[in-house]
Every structure is written in structure tokens, then in C-alpha cells.
Structure 1
Amino acid sequence: MQRTTAKALAVLVSLVIGSVALSGCTDSGPSTASDGSAAMPSASPTPHFDPDDTLWTIASTGEHLTLDDPDVQALQQVVALHSGASDNRTPSTVADSVAAEERFFSPLFLDKLAGEDYADAVTAMYVDNDLSIAQTGVAWTASTIDADRQHATVGFESLFTIVSASDGFLHELGADAGDEFAQPREYTLTKVEGAWFIDDIAKGPLRAAATTP
């Protein structure tokens, strides 16, 4: 099978990128990959919640929200489970992990990704390049909920290790197997019939986890 390293690198840069500082508590997580399926939510490291150090506010007023707020807890669960699915992948589990993460997406976001051949592109990247990644930690950054509690923006950073990949892929990325990377994300979510769904995920430039922006 021909290695699609250049195409895969472009997809990786679009999916695995970031450049904001870590904020909040970072937790260590499993060092081995899992399929991230709905039946295995433990694939994501359990976030550590410090009740005295909330990063959550109401967007229009700046009112701070505690970590026992029901919407804060629900939003953290959705984002953490999504990252567990998207950041623990191997060639043999990537198709299942894409299906697992898509259940957290809104219908409009699913339509957008389908138009971009998201599932096929991600699957090809992992299969064609023998790529495996494993999440090693998570961190929360400043996050807001609109006053009507129907929309939210969640700041989050995932740490993950490239467990293995083809030599060509690693060369193009300028990385070695075992290298750890950080990917900050800004999630936009909407509440639909009482449940939160991801509307979009904005990302910035990829960086080595040991470096600071």
C-alpha cells in the first residue's frame, strides 16, 4: 500500500494543532492506545477538578461558575469523552474511534465533516502510515457559557504521544516515536433538548508538549 505521508501530514496539522498556554490542572493518563469507543470511556484520562480554581464564567456578565454547576459538569464530560475517542487511535481502531467521537457532534457539524470526507481522511492517515497515538494528559483553559445556557465555548488542551508510525511519516513530521505533543482546542457546543453537542472545534499550531508557547 502506498504511504500517503504528505496528505497525512496535512490532515494531521489540521486535526492536531495548538499554541495556547496550559491552564488548570493536567492529569497523567494511560500510556497505551485504546479504541475510544463508547463502551470504553476510560480511554480518556479523568480530568482533575479543583473546586477553588474554576475557569468557567457566564459570557455576558463574567460571573464565575463553580465546578459543581450541572452545565459545567455536562460540558466537561462531553469534551473529555470526545478527546478520549479522538486521541487514542491505531490503524485497527481508527474507524471505531471516529464513529465514537461523532456521537458527540451536532447534526450540522456532522454534515460539515461528511462534506469534507472527514472519516475517510482520518482513517487513511492512520492506516496508510501505521500511525498509533495515545492520550497522556488533559488540561482545561478558560471557558464560557452564554447567559441563556444554550451555547458554550470550552477551552481544553490534550496531550498525546505518537506511539508508532511509519518512518516516512515521522520524517515528514520531524518527530520520533514516543514524542509527546500538545493540542489546545476551543470547542463550541450547543444544547439540544437538554444535552450538549459539539458544533465546531477550532485549533492552532502543533507544538511539542515539553515546550511553552
Structure 2
Amino acid sequence: MSVPHVVRRGVAELVGTAFLVAAVVGSGIAAQRLSPDDVGLQLLENSIATGAVLVALILALQPVSASFNPVVTLVERTLGLMTTGTAAVLVAAQVAGGLVGVVLTNLMFDLDAVSVSTHERGGSGQLLGEVVATTGLVLVVFGSLRSARVDTVALAVGGYIAAAYWFTSSTSFANPAVTLARTLSDTFAGIDPSSVPPFVLMQLVGGVVGAALLRLLHPRPLEAP
């Protein structure tokens, strides 16, 4: 008996988001340990690892499902690329995958499975950074999907996120599932739970702005996979 397509997509989103969070948090821990006195070098190491893993994961999982981000999934739903039920399954899988990824990463580095972060992030500049980062991500993802070579999406997204670590004041979280997961690791990449609601709200705002720009710039609709 064949596995339903929505189940396969959910598993791909769970696994992909878990590996993405592992890369973000794990490379942050490694960077903190290897370069304890140089925050700039820590961010460089963290951004390279995150961008690289995004390229690899999207290339590997794109034939099934490779959003790894509730905002991207919600924009897909807005564009009519999936049903509301499918979107709900994928978002739930992304959130679950992020939680699995952060727990596994903490354990890999001999830390407590869960350690709530105390790294407060916020302020108007960082919140604006999340709007900018998420808007750009939506434009890059869906703009690349309209190119003649769909495999360019992986390179475009990985490159964009690696760069956005540096050009946004918030270091480009741009992903509600990853943001939530990062509350459970009190390390370099962590975020205090109190900082999550405004970050996620700004990410959703960025998603709305990105979707509006997409409709303006790319009036031709995408076809559902």
C-alpha cells in the first residue's frame, strides 16, 4: 500500500526542519567552543553552516517537500499551491521537526536535552530586521521557482540566508518553527521565549509583504506540485 502524498510531505518537512535546526544550533555551539573570544567569527561559522545545509536539504528533499518554514508554507497556501489541510499538516511537521532537532543537538554536544535560552533579542531594529529578512526570503524562494531551472532554488535560498545573517540586525531568523525551537537551547543560537512572539509576528508581517510583492512582480501563477 502506497503512503499518502501528504504523509510523505509531512515526513520530509519534519526531517528537513530537524536537520536545519541541528545545523543552526549545532554550528552555533561548535563556533562558541572553537572561537570563544571572537563573536564575529562565531557568526561567520554559524552562517556558513546554515547556508550550506539549506542547499543540501533543499536539493535532497525538494522532490517531496522542502519548505522547512511555516511562513513559506502559508504563502504557498495563499498562492493556491496546496489545501488548508495540507498546509496545517506541514506546519505541524515543521514545528515538531524543529523541536526534535534542537533536543538531538543539545544531546550531541553533551548538554541537557532542554535548556531554556536566556538570550533576549528584540528592539525595533531587530524586529524590522525580521520583516526585511522574511520578505526577502519569500521573494527569493518563489522568484527562483519561476526560473527555468528549479534546482537554483537551493543555491538561492542557501546563499540568501547566509548573507542575511550579516545584513539584518536580527541575524535573520525568518522562520517561526526554527525560532520556537531555538528557545530550547541556552547557547549561541538561542532566543529567550519572551522574545519569540514579536519575532514571529514580524516574520508573518514579512510573509504578507513578500506575498504582496510576489503578486505584483510575478502575476503568472505557479502550478501546484
TM-score, normalized by length of structure 2? 0.25
Which one has the bigger strand percentage? Answer: 1
